[in-house]
Amino acid sequence: MPWVFRGLREGIVTTRYPRRPDHYANSFPARVVPREDPPSEDGDLGRLCPTGAISTGPVRVDAGRCVLCGLCVRERPDVFEWRPGSETATLRRSGLSVPPLEEDDDQLDRVRTALAERTRAFRRSIHVRHVDAGSDGTEEWEILALLNPVYDVHRLGIFFTPSPRHADVLLLTGAGAHGMAEPVRRSLEATPRPAVVIAAGVDAISGGLLAPSYAVSAGVGELADVDIWVPGAPPSPFSLLFALLLAMGRLPEESGRAR
Amino acid sequence: MNGVDGAAALLEAMTERLASGDRFAGLFGSGAPTKGVTITGMLATSEDVELLDAELAPGAVRYPTMSREIKPAFWYERALHDLFGVVAENHPRLDPLILPHDEQYDPLPCPGASSSPDRVVPDERAIPQRVLGTGVFTIPHGPVRSGVFESVEYVIETPGEDIPHLNVRPYAKHRGVQNRFQDLSVHHGMLLAERVEGVASVAHALAYAHAVERLAGVTVPPAAALVRVVHAELERIANHLDVAMKLADAAGLAVAVARFGLHKERCLRLIGAMCGSRFGRGVVLPGGVTAVPRMPPAHLRARLDALAEGIRGDADALMDTPSFLDRLRGTGSLSHEQARVHGALGPVGRASGVYDDARWVRPYDAYPRLEPVVGDRRGGDDAMARLQVRWEEVNDSVALIRQATELLELAGGDSLRVPLRVPAGRAVGWAEAPQGEVLYVVAVNDDGRIERCAPRSASFHNLAVFASTFRGDVLTDFPFIEASFGLSIAGAVL
């Protein structure tokens, strides 16, 4: 009984996102991007990045490789800057670059429509099965945070399930350790269709600092067909929540369209 | 560094030193068998961590085991076998641990050698399958477990209720981290060190930085040393809250889980507000720190006090909830003798009366300037004692952060970083992570690149003793014992 009162005394701490914007979600430094008008010389910028996320001509940052170390912002604040916000997940790997690569709008439309078709039944509620394929442990903390009272994803009909047989969404973290290839394959096989696969974190997208290596396969893309990519090292709980809402097709029109 | 010729001499030297009161802190290898593997033993003394080398002859893959005389070397020799293919002769049970492979498999990772293999896939068939005793069967638990956990497989051997034997198979998420360090600059190496065991990013960054700074012969500016303490202690609070949350979850106390989850979120947000990363990444640099916390010290203290007050109330309530305490008392007991022989680290060791806190025994950064915490405590050696140690540490951390921020105010606009020129050589660095002592041995070549970096997390060392704490406990105690150890698998298998 005393526990109940302890909980009640705190009042409401839960965010109202996605119905209302959340200050923390909007201010979280989630990405490094090139400034709008960088200086014209950009010769050796690629060298600044330990994971090769920076390409030049024009200057571009691949969020799927960026481990958010901020070395480039420290060295060249005239070219790079932090961009806050949590709506970072995309439906296509190529969509993670800033500025975006040449996008084929028709194709993006097709991807979006295909996912929407598949996930029509997900709009009200999903069950998520998380599988760690070689993470550093931080992604698990951020996923678990979704269950704390601040995010409380149960209010949105999002539940975590112990069994892949009850799962609609497979949430994969980690750089794709070879030892997890078989367990991931079996989990995916046990998941009923339709299913959505989310790669959470830069390790899961590209292997981050851990690839290339004898022990990992440069992200989970080689272990499963990924539908949604969530950059970040690790992605903040709001970024993860955004990705789950994307899987459910429940995003506000304006943020859902640009994916 | 004492050079010891041959593995037999290393064993002799180590045994002698352990008898005189030093602590076994680990064992790692470097190089490929074709050119001769170097096996390095680590010994923690009262003021330093010393390295003792033994070079095996080129082509040699056998050496006399240490595990018979030095019990805690058991897992280290298994890991040596997995990574280098060297065989500890007469080892009690040289089963695969972090990378199972066929005996003839080649090439192996061999960290410290000039080249790395392209691909080594763990081979499950290399793990012997055996169960001893009548009516005993195994329950495989993992690697994909119920809940949001890191991947690890526990194979529980049981006649139904008791757990006479437990096998830990952490290899599924072996990430080959050690080989990735090679050829990085010392600055890029820092980024990888932060990702070896992500939930203890700051502690790993510190241990790595200390090794590099020792090599370069520099001392960080006082203000930087204080900033480091603030971040390291906040990380400790977050980790201990995570343990409390998981223990409460195991007991099914939904409101308590929510409460500690809320505190942990606030702690991570405080860290994030200070540096931009919820895990304190990018703060520590070899030679100092990047910046002071992005908030006035008074503001930081106010948020800390609010956090501490919330935690204290709920911690008191938790330690007053009989249905919870009943599950912890006498569960997962690790006797003082066991803990001492194994050299159990961190809160696990301290709960069993093994008090070796690197912050005070081998102090670093600003800890010598702060009021030390008197930590030698007794009373129980079970999951309950471990939780009590953690609550005390949370209180201590709050006090330490207060002291550090007050000193930081006086430091004003001091410099935060010293320039660094790293000569070729090898050095060891340490830090006290929330899980216990973290060690880094960093060897740098003439070009200033990393030749070999061997991290040793407390998670690896303590996971080895985890399996022997199940005497008299039953299946339903498992989640409590696991949570009470508070380990990260990422740090254990690298």
Q: For residues B347 and B387, what is the distance between their CA atoms, to the nearest angstrom?
A: 8
CB B27 within 8 A of CB B52: no
Question: What averages of pLDDT result for each successive group of 10 residues across chain B (494 residues)?
Answer: 67 92 93 92 93 91 91 93 92 90 86 88 84 80 87 87 86 94 94 95 96 95 94 96 95 94 96 94 94 90 95 94 92 91 92 90 92 67 92 93 91 84 95 96 94 95 89 87 93 90
- Closest by Cβ to B191, choosing from A69, A134, A164: A69
User: Residue A256: its pLDDT value, please?
Assistant: 55
The verdict on a CB contact (< 8 Å) between A137 and B177 is no
Q: Taking the domains of chain B in order of start, what are their residue ranges?
A: 2-122, 177-493
A74 shares contact with chain B (CB less than 8 Å): yes
Of B147, B179, B255, which has the smallest distance from its Cβ to A3's Cβ?
B255
How far is the alpha carbon of B262 from chain A, nearest alpha carbon, in Å? 6
For domain B2-122, say whether CATH 3.30.460.80 is its number.
yes
The reported pLDDT for the residue numbered B140 is: 86
The 3 state secondary structure assigned to chain A is CHHHHHHHHCCCCCCCCCCCCCHHHHHCEEEEEECCCCCCCCCCHHHHCCCCCEECCCCEEECCCCCCCCHHHHHCCCCEEEEECCCCCECCHHHHEECCCCCCHHHHHHHHHHHHHHCHHHCCCEEEEEEECCCCCHHHHHHHHCCCCCCCHHHHCEEECCCHHHCCEEEEECCCEHHHHHHHHHHHHHCCCCCEEEEECHHHHHCHHHCCCCCECCCHHHCCCCCEEECCCCCCHHHHHHHHHHHHCCCCHHHHHCC
CB B489 within 8 A of CB B174: no
How near does any CA of chain A get to the CA of B410, in Å?
27
Q: Of B175, B201, B321, which has the smallest distance from its Cβ to A177's Cβ?
A: B175
Q: Is A94 exposed, middle or buried (0-12, 13-18, 19+ CB in 10 A)?
A: middle
Please give the ipTM for the structure prediction.
Answer: 0.94
pLDDT value of position B1: 41
Q: May I ask the CATH class of domain A105-257? A: alpha beta
Hey, which residues 86-125 in chain A have their CB within 8 Å of chain B?
Answer: none
B161, B475 in Cβ contact below 8 A?
Answer: yes
A70 touches chain B (CB under 8 A): yes
Q: Which of B148, B176, B195 sits opposite A144 (nearest CB)?
A: B148
The string of pLDDT tens digits covering residues A170-214 is 999 999 999 999 999 999 999 998 999 999 999 999 999 998 999
Contact B78, B97 (CB under 8 A): yes
Long-range contacts, stretch B152-158, CB < 8 angstroms, 24+ apart? B152/B489, B154/B478, B156/B475, B156/B478, B157/B131, B157/B132, B157/B133, B158/B475
Q: Indicate the helix (H) or strand (E) that contains B167.
A: strand B165-169
Domain boundaries, chain A: 105-257
Helix residue ranges per DSSP H, B140-296 = 177-181, 186-193, 201-216, 222-250, 254-275
**Cβ contact (<8 Å) for A215 and B117?**
no
Residue B372: CB atoms within 10 A of its CB come to: 13
- The answer as to CATH 1.10.1660.10 being correct for domain B177-493 is no
pLDDT-based confidence at residue A69 (cuts at 50, 70, 90): very high
d(CA B276, CA B269): 9
